[in-house]
């Protein structure tokens, strides 16, 4: 039987308890196949946060197409917690190379880069008429925290969960905007490394971190953005992967 998400042949498919469709081992979890009924896996109080009714005159109405880009109180707290964890990783990476004036500036810029990546996913999903919210991941939090003490840096405290029917094209586009945001930030800062500007060391570090974040997320494996983009359009994935790779490689020669 073929996986309903990626089309891969799966001899022992997994049946989603929420939507009832069949998936391979990689896409068996609701969030991995963008299950349109994932809200059934959340608590009733969480569903109320996600499905906030919109009042129009005396009637209550709800429309996917009219969704505003807003954040529930819980989502704000989870984003704040994730940003703090990510900042610890940034401090362990940047602390040895920056002075006391540059470090706070770099940490703030690094935290904003992480937020920009996640919010870009959310905005692109909402524009597709879907419900999207950031959600912490326990395993991701642990790995991110451990990476503050190890040379290998993993930044995955959570991700944007998407609710609603979504095809490969829409998922590919939504996945694209996260790493694209980091590529844009890294590309804008890249030329500054050749000039003497205020906080040049900090700006160079933020440039490299954004390029590394983009490159890591574009690896076409597991639940990373690269896998979804690769399945949707291999040419788009190749271009996206090629840009940060070339910019990073060039730092070793210039």
Within this chain, do residues 129 and 161 fall inside the same structural domain, yes or no?
yes
- Total structural domains within the chain: 2
pLDDT at position 217 over 50: yes
Domain shared by 60 and 75, yes or no: no
**Same domain flag for 88 and 54:** no
Whether 110 and 233 map to the same domain: the answer is yes
164: left (phi over 0), alpha (psi -120 to 50) or beta: left
Stronger pLDDT, 68 or 104, i.e. the higher one: 104
pLDDT of residue 62: 39
105-142 per-position pLDDT tens digit: 878 888 888 899 999 999 998 888 888 889 998 888 89
Asked whether the beta carbons of 150 and 142 are under 8 A apart, the reply is: no
The residue segments making up the domain with residue 92 are 69-250
**23-32, 60-69, 131-140: lowest mean pLDDT where?**
60-69
Q: Is residue 58 part of a domain?
A: yes
C-alpha pair distances (Å), 136 with each of 82, 149, 159: 7, 21, 7
Specify if 192 maps to a domain: yes
Same domain, 115 and 26: no
What pTM did the predictor assign?
A: 0.68
């Amino acid at each position: 039987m073929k996986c309903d998400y990626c089309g891969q042949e799966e001899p022992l498919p997994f049946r989603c308890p929420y939507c009832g469709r069949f998936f391979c081992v990689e896409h068996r979890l609701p969030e991995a196949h963008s299950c349109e009924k994932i809200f059934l896996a959340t608590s009733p109080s969480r569903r109320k946060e996600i499905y906030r009714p919109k009042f129009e005159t005396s009637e209550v109405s709800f429309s996917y197409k009219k969704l505003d880009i807003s954040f529930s109180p819980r989502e704000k707290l989870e984003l704040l917690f994730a940003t703090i964890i990510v900042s610890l990783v940034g401090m362990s990476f940047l602390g040895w190379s920056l002075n006391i004036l540059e470090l706070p500036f770099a940490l703030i810029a690094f935290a904003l880069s992480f937020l920009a990546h996640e919010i870009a996913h959310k905005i692109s999903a909402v524009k597709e008429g879907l419900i999207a919210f950031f959600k912490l991941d326990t395993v991701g939090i642990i790995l991110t925290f451990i990476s503050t003490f190890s040379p290998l840096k993993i930044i995955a405290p959570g991700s944007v969960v998407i609710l609603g029917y979504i095809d490969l094209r829409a998922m590919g586009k939504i996945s694209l905007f996260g790493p694209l945001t980091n590529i844009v930030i890294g590309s804008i800062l890249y030329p500054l490394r050749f000039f003497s500007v205020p906080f040049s060391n900090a700006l160079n570090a933020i440039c490299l971190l954004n390029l590394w974040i983009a490159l890591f997320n574009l690896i076409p494996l597991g639940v990373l953005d690269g896998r979804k983009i690769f399945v949707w359009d291999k040419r788009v994935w190749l271009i996206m992967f090629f840009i940060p790779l070339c910019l990073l490689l060039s730092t070793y020669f210039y």
